[in-house]
A and B are shown apart, each in its own frame.
Chain A
Amino acid sequence: MTTGEAYFHYLRGLAPLDTPTSQRTMLHDAMTIFRYQMRLLLREPIWIIVVMIQPLLYLALFAPLLDGIAKTPGFPPGDAWQVFVPGLLIQLGIFGSMFVGFGIIADIRHGTVERMRVTPASRLGLLLGRVARDTLVLLAQAALLTLIAVAFGLRVPLAGALVTVGIVGLLGIALASLSYAAGMWLKSEDALAPLLNMLSVPVLLLSGILLPMTLAPRWLQRLAQANPFSWVVDGARAAFRGDLGNGALATGLVAAATLAIVGLAIATRTFQHESG
């Protein structure tokens, strides 16, 4: 029997053409994509580690510089580790997530994004499944980084560390979503790379991640106050000192949550919208 004949017999033996009857929901679609993306990632787990090398290098090669600076007037309360590690975690949250847009550009090129957009799957689900994978990976990296920092000499109350990892998760949701939206919109690595570089440097410098903004001159402090990421860093530092009732922590949490919601809203719109 030739292939064609086999195919003919196969098709003739089928039940009438059907349409799915079982109920799909947004969450079901998100879980489907999450599992699919997770399997792909775990096939090459090396990337999960590669992303961590940068913060680990900062921890080993930059943090020691801070011991001296911690005695400078204007240095915020807490020892050098308690000030630096939360900043490093926020940095991981930003830089570990903002490049996921490159992944979706590759998938657009492979045609998988379009294939899934022709299915009845929920657009929000298609997005959330990816963001959920990115956030889970980020949370694991943040937890691991904190543990390694403890081995280096960090002392941090458990509750403060957990709240900070939570903040990192919210940042991850925000930046992964925005990065996907930018990737869907630009569809080209050559356009996405300069955009991300252009945005990431001011965000990094004006957030007090590397050195606290309390050391900065007045004008620079004012500029940093306009950067929501600096509120998030201040909040994380308060949490690391164990100062959970601090207003800065509440502000940081609200800022991170707001960024996450705005990011998701923008990205969902991009996913729903046609792509020319």
Chain B
Amino acid sequence: MIEARGLARTFKTRRGAVEAVRGIDFDVEAGEIVGLLGPNGAGKTTTQRMLSTLLVPTAGTATVAGSDLLKDPVGVRRKLGYVAQGGSTNPSAKVDEELLTQAELYGIPKATAKQRASELRSVLDLADLGDRLIKSLSGGQKRRLDIALGLMHRPPLVFLDEPSTGLDPQSRANLWTHIRSLRDSQGATILLTTHYLDEADALCDRIFIIDHGKIVASGTPAELKRRISGDLVTFEVQEEDVDRAKELLAGRPEARDLTQVDKGLRVTVDHGDQQALPLMRALDGAHVRVSSLHIAHPSLDDVFLTLTGRSLRDEPQPGAAVP
């Protein structure tokens, strides 16, 4: 569905050229939900804007939904639904005005457009809002309207740029359901950008981790997490037992990287689910009083940290942020 080769984009600014995207290659198969994960300013949005014909790449080529990005941009636009990050509606317009105008621009006949608008409204929880001014909608309603607008022409390929930014947890969970249904029942292919690890983890079949305009890793969420070997097991123990526990854990070959943390001891093991309990029993047998046991699987944040030496939650690098 998408085949990008050597895609690059340099912006000229007053302080010189900024390489927002530095030659990336990737493929997306039909029916996949693929995420571009990275911090702000990593080049995710720029990549999507290039692939949606909004921005001409400085280098590289791509085929999007069967059409050549550079030679046939109109062909790409026909098959693509694009939901931008910062909203896409005029506050002074009414909900149906936007939906029907959007349909008209795709050449959809009026009767069909009306029917689709009302169907999309009802499934996206906007059922009775057709005649409402957009400025009177809530943030979540506006976001769902953005998505409805991107789906009016039933595109086989949908781009979502930071779909859940600014939504409350409830709306977020609902949105994820919508996105999954879009693929599961209709076979749409979805390329989304996010800087939320939980979103990438929950939604995406595959993830491309982007940093400083380059893809630094790709794979399923599970594959990526497996790259950080092992799980973290933390035992909370009574203070007077710490030394004995340390001695015992140091003698167990499966427990690596023994560290003393806030209220206990932490070790790394290959398979936390299976190896934590035997360790726990050994501690028990040595009369170490363990008050709690905590197993942590590596998060995508850990993956990101390992790959780039920075946390995803860090502030964006100065000068790296590009529209």
Question: Which residues of A does B touch, CB under 8 Å?
Answer: 2-4, 6-12, 14, 17-24, 28-29, 32-33, 36, 39-40, 43-44, 107, 109-112, 114-121, 274-276
- What are the residues of chain A within 8 A of B92 when measuring CB–CB? 40, 43-44
| Chain B stretch 76-112: residues in CB contact (< 8 A) with chain A | 77-80, 82, 84, 86-93, 97-98, 101-102, 104-109
Bound-complex Cα distance A36 to B97 (A)? 7
Interface centre among A39, A107, A112, A275 (most CB of B within 10 A): A112
Contact between A121 and B55 (Cβ–Cβ < 8 Å)? no
A24 in complex: contacting residue of B86, B90, B107, CB < 8 Å: B107
Bound-complex Cα distance A17 to B183 (A)? 12
B105 in complex: contacting residue of A32, A114, A274, CB < 8 Å: A32
Contact between A275 and B54 (Cβ–Cβ < 8 Å)? yes
**Does B234 sit within 8 A of A, measured CB to CB?**
no
- What are the residues of chain B within 8 A of A43 when measuring CB–CB? 92
Contact between A20 and B107 (Cβ–Cβ < 8 Å)? yes
Contact between B84 and A7 (Cβ–Cβ < 8 Å)? no
Contact between A11 and B182 (Cβ–Cβ < 8 Å)? yes
B91 in complex: contacting residue of A9, A110, A115, A120, CB < 8 Å: A110
Contact between A20 and B106 (Cβ–Cβ < 8 Å)? yes
B114 to chain A, nearest CB (A): 15
Contact between A17 and B156 (Cβ–Cβ < 8 Å)? yes
Going nearest first, the 9 A-B pairs with the smallest beta carbon separation are A4-B177, A115-B88, A24-B107, A20-B107, A11-B185, A111-B88, A119-B105, A121-B105, A32-B104
Question: Which residues of B does A touch, CB under 8 Å?
Answer: 11, 52-56, 74, 77-80, 82, 84, 86-93, 97-98, 101-102, 104-109, 119, 122-125, 149, 153-156, 174, 177-178, 180-182, 184-188, 323
A191 to chain B, nearest CB (A): 13
A3 in complex: contacting residue of B88, B155, B174, B185, CB < 8 Å: B174
Contact status of A4 and B90, CB under 8 A, knowing A24-B107, A118-B82: no
Contact between B105 and A19 (Cβ–Cβ < 8 Å)? no
Apart from A4-B174, A110-B87, A115-B84, list 8 A-B contacts with CB within 8 A: A2-B177, A8-B181, A11-B182, A22-B109, A118-B53, A118-B82, A120-B105, A275-B54
Contact status of A7 and B107, CB under 8 A, knowing A19-B153, A275-B54: no
A52 to chain B, nearest CB (A): 21
25 intermolecular pairs with C-beta atoms under 8 Å apart = A3-B174, A4-B177, A4-B181, A7-B123, A7-B182, A8-B185, A9-B185, A12-B186, A14-B154, A17-B156, A17-B187, A19-B78, A20-B78, A20-B153, A22-B107, A24-B105, A112-B98, A114-B54, A115-B89, A115-B102, A115-B149, A116-B105, A120-B78, A120-B106, A276-B11
Contact between B106 and A3 (Cβ–Cβ < 8 Å)? no
- What are the residues of chain A within 8 A of B78 when measuring CB–CB? 19-20, 120
B143 to chain A, nearest CB (A): 12
